[in-house]
Amino acid sequence: MAWTLLGMLLWKPLAGIVLGALAWAVRRRGLPALEAGRAVTAAVAGGAVVLLAAYSVLGAMPLWVEAPRELWSAVFGARYALPLVLGLVALVALGAARPHRAPSTGASLAPRTWRTFLDARWLAALVIALVLVLVPTLAAGMASRPDEDGEYTRYVVDVGSGTLGTGIYGWHHSALPLVLLVPLGAATWWALSGIARPPLAEAEPADAANRRLRSANVARVALGGLLLHLGTIVGSLANTSRLSGTFSGGDRGWFSISTPFAALSGTLDVLSAVAACVGCALWVFTALTAVPAPSPSRPRRSAVPS
């Protein structure tokens, strides 16, 4: 029973780890060697994945650990902001890493900005992910109602003179993540700018390729944080959509009521799992870029007697 429960809690991080490792194995030989912050990249990206997996296990802790309800409520509520916090810490660490090498003696006159070494597809993916986060956040916030403590965490369906309610990702849960999106975006810009601005090294093509890899890693970390956060939002909405009840209508018999988006519960579950797995895979891929690619082996020459 315990192993089954752990499997249910950990399957998304484990699937993300496998997906990220497979993607890295396929692309490994095409990646340049990471020159700056190799240990930092592996530590912060890999550590973030480990912390996410450990946090997933906390979902079963109330079964074995006695603690005040308020404590567990705070622990569970942190699941929405945790991916953004981990992503923010990783971005600061990646942006602080600088290569230790002498700059080129010849100055490059080409202007460089934070987008110079970032593929436009990464920028488009970040914008799309941000929109996908904001739309359900605002929709759920506007649909939420205050609970007995005045916190906007309830979703209520009116049933005649009564109501039927459940929890929802309302303003109470979304306030901190919405604030964290600002420093996350600022840290992404700062890290990309720090990669692009220093003068290019003597081996300019190799240096440019390395900066493209580092810029892609920054984008992967930011995008992974957004997708993991999106996964928690959509998963919460999937649980909210399952609200249902059966009531007596007197002479008209019994009738059932559910949420207007009850038919989407299965789709929301799938989208939540996909977002979580892909977000985790992006962080795993980033951590594995610190592993140097194998050098091509040279064929041995057999000695031919003269």
pLDDT, one tens digit per residue, over 149-168 is 889 999 988 776 667 889 99
- Residue 167: inside a domain: yes
> Distance of alpha carbon 139 from its chain centroid, rounded?
21
Q: Tens digit of pLDDT for each residue in 129-152?
A: 999 999 999 999 999 999 888 899
- Residue 68: inside a domain: yes
- Residue 293: inside a domain: no
Q: Are 89 and 44 in contact (CB under 8 A)?
A: yes
Q: Tens digit of pLDDT for each residue in 52-81?
A: 999 988 766 766 777 777 777 777 788 999
Average pLDDT, the chain: 86
pTM of the full structure: 0.90
Q: Are 81 and 180 in contact (CB under 8 A)?
A: yes
pLDDT of residue 57: 84
pLDDT of residue 249: 63
pLDDT of residue 158: 78
Band of pLDDT at residue 174, cut at 50, 70 and 90: very high
- Residue 306: inside a domain: no
Instruction: Decide which of 175 and 255 is more confident.
Output: 175
Instruction: Decide which of 259 and 174 is more confident.
Output: 174
- Gap between the Cα atoms of 139 and 173, Å rounded: 13
pLDDT(265) > 90: yes
Band of pLDDT at residue 224, cut at 50, 70 and 90: very high
- Residue 297: inside a domain: no
Which tokens sit at 34?
């990471």
pLDDT(297) > 70: no
Q: Name the β-bridge partners of 257.
A: 245
Instruction: Decide which of 243 and 285 is more confident.
Output: 285
pLDDT of residue 306: 41
Q: Determine what percent of the chain is predicted with pLDDT higher than 90.
A: 56
Boundaries of domain holding 212 = 2-97+113-245+254-288
- Residue 206: inside a domain: yes
- Residue 88: inside a domain: yes
Q: Tens digit of pLDDT for each residue in 76-120?
A: 788 999 999 999 999 999 999 887 665 555 555 566 889 899 999
- Residue 296: inside a domain: no
pLDDT of residue 204: 76
Band of pLDDT at residue 171, cut at 50, 70 and 90: very high
Q: Are 77 and 176 in contact (CB under 8 A)?
A: no
Our count of domains for the chain comes to 1
Q: Are 88 and 225 in contact (CB under 8 A)?
A: yes
- Gap between the Cα atoms of 269 and 202, Å rounded: 51
